[in-house]
Structure 1
Amino acid sequence: MSSLLRRQILRKTGGMDIPLVGFAPAERWNNPLFEPWVPEAFRPASLVPGTKSVIVIGFPVSLPIVDTAPSIWYHELYHVVNETLDACAYRLATFLTEKGYPSVWVPRDGYGSITVLKENPAAFFSHRHAAFCAGLGTFGENNMLLTPQYGPRVRFASILTSAEIPGDPVLEESLCIRCGRCVSACPVSAVKSGGYPAHLTDKHACACRSEELRDRYLSPCGCCIKVCPVGNDRQQYNRNDMRMYDDHNPLSEPYRRVRDHVRSYGSR
């Protein structure tokens, strides 16, 4: 029955054009996969007692738009992807509940606002860890979840369900190549060399940067995810040559023109 339900879920998500779907048993959170690990209060079965499985869905943020970040274009894309994620996760949770498996959706964010995040730099549930547990990717130096398909250019939402669904294997080999591009690209030095979990991102510095950009209608920042060389989306958009981010290289000139044009509009 559990395998049948998994197939039904995949048909449902396919009908909603969700490109990334992963499954993880809730008990996977009880066996730390590295240190530091997710505190008990943040685990699925603590949030909703009776949770047996977590379904993680993901949508990409389009690389050519991210390449203009921070910009009004990326600002609008970010909000559209977030709203789409929440709507799809809500529909999937409702679908499962109506089939007799009580389920709830966890929104893509859980911290209220950037101002709140500065004071308490965490959400009540980590979709990145959920995506990791569901076999969708591995952590990179910028503490983001890197996926084979899109690198870190993905947004996630999760569904906590009472259904027991076969889980996907956790990826064992890191996708991060430790190139350090995200470290160098961070405008506020929030990303530390060495990567997660050894070195955490300076969330306060990152939040302050986001707050400044928000007031100019340019949040989020996006600098560390656009320069990551990981992801098949680079082949899809023919953006494999990382010299495109070197402003001193002639190859970067057409991309700089687009970036400068977009940044000239829609912000203070």
Structure 2
Amino acid sequence: MYQIKSPVLFTLFNRPDTAYRVFQKIRAGKPPKLYVAADGPRRDRDGEAALCEEARKVIQVDWECEVHTLYRPENLGCKVAMSGAVKWFFEQEEEGIILEDDCLPDESFFTFCDTLLEKYRHDTRIAHIGGANLCLNKKFGDASYYFSRYTIIWGWASWRRVWQNYDENLLLLDGFIQEDLFKYIYKKKTVTDQLIKTLNVVKSNALVTWDFQYVFMNFWNNSLCIVPNKNLISNIGFDTRATHTADTRSKFANLPTEPLGEITHPKYFVPIIDADYYLLKLEEPPLTTKLKRIIVPVVKRLISSSH
């Protein structure tokens, strides 16, 4: 079993079953440093405190390891809890690997992250090392990975130098839109219109999340994101308990992983925009899936109040 070299941040909440499966992958790799962050239970959810406690009990470190914990006594929600956990991690580490409790990695994910964290440690063109390939077995280029503009956060690695620019409130978004800068990210207006719409919803807090802020940060910084040409992460969290992945019929649910093999590197440092377009076309429109649970109840209340 490959022994992980980099520090690992593992975030969890109220799903001890998925947390256990992911932790067993981390445990097998025996990282030298493990950071565990857990959000607290919601007051209005019966039985959730017990589930959160059970999830935390999954962490049984039986190897030589420096362990740090950030266990929240109360619920902060996805946006603050997750972004706060990553900030806490990078305040103490220059670089590392981040796994959520529903992102089940292939063993070669850790090799991939360790290798590329070292290779691109001081290369400010590279901001993000992703572990998930959501292009459904379509390969781009001859190397083990390609460069993208789009940031996928189902199992990833990065550096403090990148995360220090993170802004959970999207303060630069309005200016970016007013100066029409999205056209330099993607030429297709249908793509940029959807991104702008989604980011505005996130900024308004109608969609409470942390990841689109990270996506935008890498846009305005003109950064490159790494995507493996084989899928190294299976998201096992598509169920009714999930915050943003409740649709069990999603084409991205429980995707199989595949060992990466020997790592080969691209010759050229250019984003493969066709790969991004292919992925964005595969994705269900973000507003359709993520906002349905928000918009539909509001509309129903408005209709009922008008009668």
TM superposition score normalised by structure 2: 0.27
Higher relative contact order (CA 8 A, sep 6+): 1
